[in-house]
A and B are shown apart, each in its own frame.
Chain A
Amino acid sequence: MSEPRARALPALASALWRYVPVVLLLALWQAASDFGWVSTAVLPPLLSVLSSGYDLITTAEFWEHTAASLYRGSVGLLLSIVIGGALGIGMAWWRPVNYLLSPIVELFYPLPKSALIPVTALWLGFGDTSKILLIFLGCMLPVTIGAFNGARGSEQTLVWSARSLGASRLQTLRDVVVPSAMPELLNGIRTALALSFILLVSSELIVARKGLGSMIGFLGDGGNYDAMFAVVLAVAMLGFFADRIYQVMMQRALRWRE
């Protein structure tokens, strides 16, 4: 019993050692204003950013903005995963669907997604639905392509043996094709997750009255830089932890492959 614990300590120490450079950078940030290397108007000291961040998270306003952003991001991403994934698997499974959709996908995939921001605002205004549509449209194609490549790569022998063992087409789809498409599909969703944050924050910076992105713009315009840096850090941490949590979930979901 004591063996794992004895190994856990060096593991913890090496994990801490790994993040020493980040701590160094943060210390450098604080020192830069303490020793007057840069003006505090340009770079507010880390400690005052943290204290105004603490003040912020005790206000209801901050949580309203956070909830607005999370709502838009999660609904848009969820729609893109469901519809994009279904399209990708459909393209790999039924040839006519592939002939019909692949030129459209090929044409729209390289479209710089941020160009859609003004159009969705034109259609649906400045509220939630325009952001949801933007994130849905922008994140759908990476999921579609991941699902398509994954499902197309599923081994023909597996499909044939499932069919010859008497599985129906739908059963084969559910039990053979979809699971074997999983690794690439999940990778596509990871790209979509990163993209959803980019689209969410930039659309909120440009056109919105709610959400963390608009809060950053609002605080910056008011010259309240301590709080602005705090919200930027909050958004950065949100994106970082979303990715890490997703990675852990992805590894769990793919454990059967071991």
Chain B
Amino acid sequence: MARVEEGFAPSARGRRPVLVAEFGRALGWRLIAWSPVIAVLIAWEVFARSGAVSPFMLPPLSRVFERIASDAASGELVIAVALTLWRALAGFLIAAVVGVALGLAMARVRLVYWFFDPIVSIGFPVPKIAFLPIIVLWLGFYDVSKITMIAFNAIFPVVTATVVGVYGVEKEIIWSARNVGTNERAMLWEILLPAALPQIFTGLQVALPIAIIVGIVTEMAMGGYGVGGSMQTASRMADSLGVFAGIIVTAVVGYILVKLMSVLRRRLLVWHQEAMEPTTA
């Protein structure tokens, strides 16, 4: 309670400069830690302007940023990123829901395990991207085939992580839940899922980058706009600025999504002992 009152007390205003100074110091450390990245970016600019390579092979970074800015101003960038994100995230969500459900069923029902275990263990290492022309043959060129392809690629790590996670739940917990008369549904929602959540989340963290990678490949192979589609068009038209702008945009989008997942993980698993351990994320 004391902390809440403090927040409203006038004395809080006096502490603001301290906060600003602290923020500045944190920002300074961040800048120092990230200085190699900044050095790489500066080296890119200098190298591209030195004339050692043609601007076609490596355009200066500043011109790539100008291109991104003009794409952003025309609205093209937002549409491309939104389309790619929609497909990748829709496929990822399907993979997450179906994958966790299938993994739970496999871990609980022996017949389901018998049927799906060999299929999952064969399907996991197979390069499923090779099935792309078959999916196109079946489902056409539009969003349905792209999202199916993404979900098909991303589901395997989710299933295996869920099975491993549920098998790893301590037997004592299950027994004591049974002893106090927990029914099957409560067992699922209140015991098994939360206890397996760390592993399930690791599976999801593997699946998300796969979803983005495959989403971009499907756009490159079949067209249909999006970041991958616009990069492929730029590459065909020898528009190297467009290609490099696409790389920077996908790098930023990928970085943000991966960071969001690790933030979400810490939020969801606050109660778990892993939250006590130091993280690099």
CB of B231 within 8 A of CB of A118, answer yes
A202 closest partner in B (C-beta): B217
Question: Does B57 sit at the interface, judged by CB under 8 A?
Answer: yes
CB of A112 within 8 A of CB of B209, answer yes
Most buried by B among A119, A217, A220: A119
Question: Residue-by-residue, is A221-235 near B (CB-CB < 8 Å gives 1, otherwise 0)?
Answer: 000010011001001
CB of A206 within 8 A of CB of B250, answer no
B132 closest partner in A (C-beta): A205
Question: Does A25 sit at the interface, judged by CB under 8 A?
Answer: yes
Q: Which of A53-61, A155-163, A177-185, A236-244 lies on the face that meets chain B?
A: A236-244
Contacts of B4 in A (CB 8 A): none
CB of B228 within 8 A of CB of A229, answer no
Is the contact region of chain B dominated by helix, strand, or loop, or is it mixed?
helix
Q: For chain A, residues 131 to 180, give those with C-beta under 8 angstroms from any C-beta of chain B.
A: none
Contacts of B216 in A (CB 8 A): 112, 114-115
Q: A104-B37, A228-B133, A232-B134 are in contact. Are A118 and B246 (CB under 8 A)?
A: yes
Contacts of B34 in A (CB 8 A): 103
Question: Does B167 sit at the interface, judged by CB under 8 A?
Answer: no
Question: Does A122 sit at the interface, judged by CB under 8 A?
Answer: yes
Contacts of B240 in A (CB 8 A): 122
Determine the distance from Cα of A122 to Cα of B53 in the docked complex, in whole angstroms. 13
Question: Does A192 sit at the interface, judged by CB under 8 A?
Answer: no
Question: Does A100 sit at the interface, judged by CB under 8 A?
Answer: yes
Question: Does B40 sit at the interface, judged by CB under 8 A?
Answer: yes
CB of A42 within 8 A of CB of B220, answer no
CB of B243 within 8 A of CB of A118, answer yes
CB of B254 within 8 A of CB of A119, answer no
Question: Does B125 sit at the interface, judged by CB under 8 A?
Answer: yes
Q: Name the one of B33, B129, B243, B254 contacting A198, with C-beta atoms under 8 angstroms.
A: B129
CB of B213 within 8 A of CB of A201, answer no
Q: Name the one of B35, B127, B212, B251 contacting A108, with C-beta atoms under 8 angstroms.
A: B251
CB of B114 within 8 A of CB of A21, answer yes
B246 closest partner in A (C-beta): A115
Contacts of A197 in B (CB 8 A): 127, 129
Contacts of B227 in A (CB 8 A): 115
Question: Residue-by-residue, is B196-221 near A (CB-CB < 8 Å gives 1, otherwise 0)?
Answer: 00000000000001001111110011
Interface size class of A (residues with CB under 8 A): 35 or more
CB of A110 within 8 A of CB of B257, answer yes
Question: Does A116 sit at the interface, judged by CB under 8 A?
Answer: yes
CB of B126 within 8 A of CB of A114, answer no
Please give the distance in Å from A181's CB to the nearest CB on chain B.
17
Contacts of A239 in B (CB 8 A): 125-127, 130
Q: A103-B34, A104-B37, A206-B232 are in contact. Are A114 and B220 (CB under 8 A)?
A: yes
Q: A18-B118, A240-B122 are in contact. Are A115 and B231 (CB under 8 A)?
A: yes
B56 closest partner in A (C-beta): A122
Contacts of B247 in A (CB 8 A): 111, 115-116, 119
Contacts of B117 in A (CB 8 A): 18, 21
Contacts of B129 in A (CB 8 A): 197-198, 201-202, 205
CB of A107 within 8 A of CB of B246, answer no
CB of A243 within 8 A of CB of B250, answer no
Question: Does A88 sit at the interface, judged by CB under 8 A?
Answer: no
CB of B116 within 8 A of CB of A202, answer no
Please give the distance in Å from A154's CB to the nearest CB on chain B.
18
CB of A42 within 8 A of CB of B138, answer yes
CB of A22 within 8 A of CB of B251, answer no
Question: Does A213 sit at the interface, judged by CB under 8 A?
Answer: yes
Question: Does B152 sit at the interface, judged by CB under 8 A?
Answer: no
Determine the distance from Cα of A99 to Cα of B37 in the docked complex, in whole angstroms. 11
Question: Does B119 sit at the interface, judged by CB under 8 A?
Answer: yes
Most buried by A among B33, B36, B37, B127: B127
CB of A121 within 8 A of CB of B125, answer no
Contacts of A79 in B (CB 8 A): none
A-B pairs with beta carbons under 8 Å apart, 15 shown: A19-B118, A21-B116, A99-B33, A103-B36, A110-B251, A111-B254, A112-B213, A112-B250, A198-B127, A201-B127, A205-B132, A228-B134, A229-B134, A240-B122, A240-B126
Please name the 4 residue pairs, one residue from A and one from B, whose CB atoms are nearest each other, closest first.
A243-B125, A118-B235, A197-B127, A110-B258
Known contacts A99-B33, A110-B251, A232-B133; 8 additional CB pairs below 8 A are A110-B254, A116-B247, A118-B246, A202-B221, A206-B221, A228-B134, A239-B125, A242-B125
Interface residues of A (CB under 8 A from B): 18-19, 21-22, 25, 42, 99-101, 103-104, 107-119, 121-123, 194, 197-198, 200-202, 205-207, 212-213, 216-217, 220, 225, 228-229, 232, 235-236, 238-240, 242-244
